Chains A and B, each alone.
Chain A
Amino acid sequence: MIRRIAILWLLGFALWCSFSHATGPFDDDDDSLFDDTPAQAKAEKPLPGTPTTSRMTADAVHEAQTLRSGNTFEFCTNPPRLPSRRTVELCPLADRAPGCEALKARCAQWLKPPAPPTAPPSWLGSIARAGVWVLLALVIVVVITVIVRAILATRRDQQLSDQVPMLEAPGPEMLPTDAAFPGLDDAEATLRLGDQRVERGEVLAGLALYLAAALRSLEKRGWIERQADRTNGEYVRSCQDPAAQRFLRSVVRDVERVTYGGHSPDRPAIANTRSYVVELLKVTIAALTIMLLTSCSSSPSPSRLERPVTDPNGFQLPRRILEKQGWTVDTVRRPLEQLKPGDLADRTLFLNLNSVRPTEASWTHIFAWIEDGGRLIVIGDEDHLPKELGTPMGRMAIKSTVVIDPTLGRHDPRAIPVRVDLVDNSTLVPHTPKVSGPSVTSSTNTIAQYDTSEAYATVVNMGRGSVLVIANHELFVNLGMAFDDHVAAFMTLMQFDPHRHLSLVSEKENGMPSNPMSALAKAGFRLAMIQAFIAIVTLFLAVGWRLTRAQSSRQDIRRAFIEHVEAVGGLYARARASRHALRAFARFVEDRLRGRTQRGHADVAETLAALSGQPRAFCEDVWAYSRHAGAGRGDTRRDLHYLRALVGLYRDAVRQTHEKQA
Chain B
Amino acid sequence: MNVDQFAQVFSTLRTQLSHVVVGQRELVDGLLTCVFSGGHVLIEGAPGLGKTLVARSFALLSGMAYKRIQFTPDLMPSDITGSSVLERQSNTFTFVPGPVFCQLLLADEINRAPAKTQASLLEAMQERQVTVDGMTRNLPAPFTVVATQNPIESQGTYPLPEAQLDRFLFKLLVREPAAEVERTIVRNHVDGFDPTELRGVTPIIGPEHVLALQQIARAVRVDDAVIAYIVEIVRKSREDRAIEVGASPRASISLARAAQVVAASEGRDFVTPDDVKPLALAALRHRITLHADAQLQGIAADERITDIIRATAVPRIGP
Q: Which residues of A contact B (CB under 8 A)?
A: 175-178, 204-205, 208, 211-212, 228-234, 256-262
Contacts and interface: CB of A to CB of B under 8 A. Distances in A.
Contacts of B167: none
28 contacts: A177-B316, A178-B316, A208-B316, A211-B316, A228-B313, A229-B309, A229-B310, A229-B312, A229-B313, A230-B314, A231-B274, A231-B277, A232-B273, A233-B274, A234-B274, A234-B277, A256-B272, A259-B223, A259-B225, A260-B221, A260-B225, A260-B270, A260-B271, A260-B318, A261-B221, A261-B268, A261-B269, A262-B223
Interface string B284-319: 000000000000000000000000011111101110
Contacts of A177: 316-317
B221 A262 contact: yes
Contacts of A262: 221, 223, 270, 318
Task: Tell me which of B268, B273, B277, B312 has the highest count of chain A C-beta atoms within 10 A of its own C-beta.
Answer: B273
Interface in B205-232: 221, 223, 225-226
A640 B230 CA distance: 57
Task: Tell me which of B223, B270, B317 has the highest count of chain A C-beta atoms within 10 A of its own C-beta.
Answer: B317
Task: Tell me which of A205, A228, A232, A259 has the highest count of chain B C-beta atoms within 10 A of its own C-beta.
Answer: A259
Contacts of B277: 231, 234
Contacts of A261: 221, 223, 268-270
Given A260-B223, A260-B272, A228 B317 contact: no
A231 B317 contact: no
B317 A176 contact: yes
Contacts of B270: 256-257, 260-262
A229 B311 contact: yes
Nearest to A175: B317
A151 B268 CA distance: 48
B82 to A, nearest CB: 45
Contacts, number: 59
Interface in B234-257: none
Contacts of A230: 314
A556 B273 CA distance: 31
Interface of B: 221, 223, 225-226, 268-274, 277, 309-314, 316-318
A258 B223 CA distance: 11
Contacts of A229: 309-314
Given A231-B314, A260-B223, 7 more contacts: A177-B317, A212-B316, A229-B313, A232-B274, A234-B277, A256-B270, A260-B272
A301 to B, nearest CB: 29
Interface of A, secondary structure class, is helix
B19 to A, nearest CB: 25
The 3 closest A-B pairs by CB, nearest first: A233-B274, A261-B270, A231-B274
A334 B311 CA distance: 61
A231 B272 contact: yes
B310 A204 contact: no
Contacts of B312: 229
Contact of B317 (A204, A233, A234): A204
Contacts of B269: 261
Nearest to B269: A261
A289 B318 CA distance: 36
B145 to A, nearest CB: 31
A446 B64 CA distance: 92
A522 B314 CA distance: 57
A204 B315 CA distance: 14
A226 to B, nearest CB: 10
Contact of B272 (A175, A208, A232): A232
Nearest to B275: A233
B304 to A, nearest CB: 15
A176 B271 CA distance: 21
Contacts of B274: 231-234
Contacts of A258: 318
Nearest to B308: A229
Nearest to B316: A177
B11 to A, nearest CB: 18
A262 B312 CA distance: 23
A486 to B, nearest CB: 49
B316 A260 contact: no
Nearest to B225: A260
Nearest to A262: B221
Nearest to A255: B317
A230 B274 CA distance: 8
A175 B316 CA distance: 10
A97 to B, nearest CB: 44
A260 B310 contact: no
Contacts of B221: 260-262
A175 B225 CA distance: 13
A140 B226 CA distance: 54
Nearest to B222: A260
A521 to B, nearest CB: 50
Task: Tell me which of A175, A176, A261, A262 has the highest count of chain B C-beta atoms within 10 A of its own C-beta.
Answer: A261
Nearest to A231: B274
A297 B247 CA distance: 57
Contacts of B317: 175-177, 204-205, 208, 259
Given A231-B277, A232-B274, A259 B318 contact: yes
B231 to A, nearest CB: 16
Nearest to A227: B310
A228 B272 contact: no
Nearest to A259: B318
A231 B271 CA distance: 12
A231 B274 CA distance: 5
Nearest to B266: A233
A211 B274 CA distance: 15
A260 B221 CA distance: 8
A206 to B, nearest CB: 11
A492 B308 CA distance: 79
A231 to B, nearest CB: 4
A582 B229 CA distance: 49
A228 B273 CA distance: 12
A204 B316 contact: no
A261 B310 CA distance: 24
Nearest to A233: B274
A234 B275 CA distance: 10
Task: Tell me which of B274, B310, B311, B316 has the highest count of chain A C-beta atoms within 10 A of its own C-beta.
Answer: B316
